[in-house]
Structure 1
């Protein structure tokens, strides 16, 4: 019944399905960039400093948040500049009011 001349071929080994390699996970946002952006609205000098520190860290580590760090620097400097202009206007207006004050 069985033919000894038949040489059955071995089954091919089962291959594991090939999946595409997952892209490397993007690093998260730089914490100092987020904190610097928030503090730029309230404590502008600290926001500017943290923005510069975050930029240097982002350049070194490749994290996300470069836009937040730049925004912290720009917003912080803009608020400092507006504060200086506002202070000059207040002092000048007080000086003009004191010069024109007549006591009767």
Structure 2
């Protein structure tokens, strides 16, 4: 447990090291190549820091990067699945061959 000191008019501040600081940095770094893992590690780091009475801007950055990356990947997956489903449907309707559809060349069954 950390001790706190009190200064007149300044409130209290925690004494000791921020227990989530290193984990926050690790979470931020991981958030770039591994969005979900970085997001989780950053959340854990932020919770540790808050519990000890510290702020952790590195963990917040990791959460932001992790969320943006995760949402971006989710959108990419949704668009890709939709495109594949539309192409499969087009090929099911038209059979094998090479077709031009709205300026896009689609090859079915080859």
Task: Answer yes or no: same fold by TM over 0.5.
Answer: yes
Tell me the equivalent position of 1:82.
72
Unaligned residue ranges in structure 1 (runs of 5+): 1-24
Report which of the two structures shows the higher radius of gyration computed on alpha carbons.
1
The runs of at least 4 consecutive aligned structure 1 residues that moved more than 3 Å come to 25-29, 60-64
Contact 1:37 1:47 in 2 (8 A): yes
Contact 2:31 2:38 in 1 (8 A): yes
How many residues were matched structurally? 79
- TM superposition score normalised by structure 2: 0.61
Unaligned residue ranges in structure 2 (runs of 5+): 1-14, 98-110
User: 2:79 and 2:50 mapped to 1: Cα distance?
Assistant: 40
Q: Which has the higher contact order (CA 8 A, sep 6+)?
A: 1
Helix, strand or coil at the partner of 2:96: coil
